[in-house]
Amino acid sequence: AAAAARLPASGEAVATREEEQEEEGEEDLRDGGVPFFVNRGGLPVDEPTWERMWRHVARIHPDGERVAERIRGAADLPKIPIPSVPAFQPSTPIPERLEAVQRYIRELQYNHTGTQFFEIKKSRPLTGLMDLAKEMTKEALPIKCLEAVILGIYLTNNMTTLDRFPISFKTHFSGNYFRHIVLGVNFGGRYGALGISRREELMYKAPVFRTLSELIFDFEEAYRRCWHTLKKVKLGHCVSHDPHSVEQIEWKHSILDLDKLSREDFRKELERHARDMRLKIGKGTGPPSPTKDRKKDVSSPQRGQASPHRRNSRGDRR
């Protein structure tokens, strides 16, 4: 909350319902089921949203109204440092670049205020989301997990040998469902992830995993250590490196329900998704290029009836 105190004041926000949380990929490890707000009015923040944020902070913080009064009433709050956007030499190895990007995301800090400062509409074209990511770097406000994914895409656009794709998790703990999203990465055949979370083990994964299933199983084990049971995994396709692309990010190409899959079938579905991404890239259809898609109408590989847990992409439907 202290980091947010440098905000001027925020726009209309709406508490998310459970379905909306699933769509937006929101993650909440500690207080599942508690609505959070989204600033829909842009920046600077307007007065009604600003006041509502502080009322919400008073409700969810253990110290209640005292923490809001202590921060808002202080005349000498420390100046919050603005993290520098990472810049790289052409010779900087990709793994080092990924570490620097993750450090930057971490330095922005996780947003504990209960109000998400940037409205992320998953249906927006990539170019619009990249404009929003640029605004995030200017404002340098605390972020939640979906904002971190958009920022990760923006900061890795010039790493053309790196494949990026969204990974969403749904878990169950103590009667509540929780949702989280990270940006999966693949460099040189090794998988990893970028992101932000309250939990250290649910954020960055260095690109050292030989298979996609190894990466996902590592996340599953991390959830298990938090007493969470992994229920569902959603995998998107590779994201274009063209910041001006008008294509939408494909967030849910594969939807894997662990209650309906054996352990071995789960692993097979993960590896099938990894093969689909490689085939799509090998055929020149991914990361998606809007010009190629319109002119050539290239389809991604069709799936058989044996795998009912996956949705067809737009290319498949065409």
pLDDT at 101: 98
pLDDT tens digit string along 281-312? 766 555 544 433 433 343 444 444 444 444 44
Whole-number pLDDT of residue 284: 59
pLDDT digits over 97-123, tens only?
A: 999 999 999 999 999 888 999 999 999
Quote the pLDDT of residue 286. 55
For 146, residues 6+ apart whose C-beta sits below 8 A from its C-beta are 24, 25, 26, 116, 120, 181
pLDDT, tens only, 115-146: 999 999 999 999 999 999 999 999 999 999 99
Whether residue 195 is predicted with pLDDT greater than 70 in this model: the reply is yes
Q: What is the pLDDT of residue 153?
A: 98
In the prediction, which pLDDT does 158 show? 95
Among 180, 228, 237, 241, the one annotated catalytic: 180
Distance separating alpha carbons of residues 63 and 198, to the nearest angstrom: 19
> Residue 267 CA to chain centroid, in angstroms?
22
The least confident of 20-24, 131-135, 181-185, 242-246 is 20-24
For residue 213, what are the contacts with CB-CB under 8 A and spacing of at least 6? 266, 267, 270, 271, 274
Q: Choose among 68, 72, 81: nearest CA to 109.
A: 81
- Average pLDDT in the chain: 83
Token output for 252: 């849910």
Q: Tell whether the model's pLDDT for residue 202 goes beyond 90.
A: yes
Rounded mean pLDDT of 146-166?
Answer: 97
- pLDDT number for residue 108: 96
pLDDT value at position 74?
86
Find the radius of gyration of the CA atoms of the chain: 20
The residue among 42, 40, 38, 46 whose CA lies nearest residue 17 is: 38
Place of tokens 């058989």: 304
pLDDT for res 148? 97
Asked about 197 being catalytic, the answer comes back as: yes
Split at pLDDT 50, 70, 90, the class of 14 is very low
| Catalytic site residue from 145, 228, 241, 289 | 145
Is 253 annotated as catalytic?
no
Is 313's pLDDT higher than 60? no
Percent of the chain surpassing pLDDT 70: 77
Out of 168, 197, 240, 300, the active site residue is 197
Write the pLDDT tens digit of every residue in 204-250: 999 999 999 999 999 999 999 999 999 999 999 999 999 999 999 99
The residue-averaged pLDDT of 266-287 equals 84
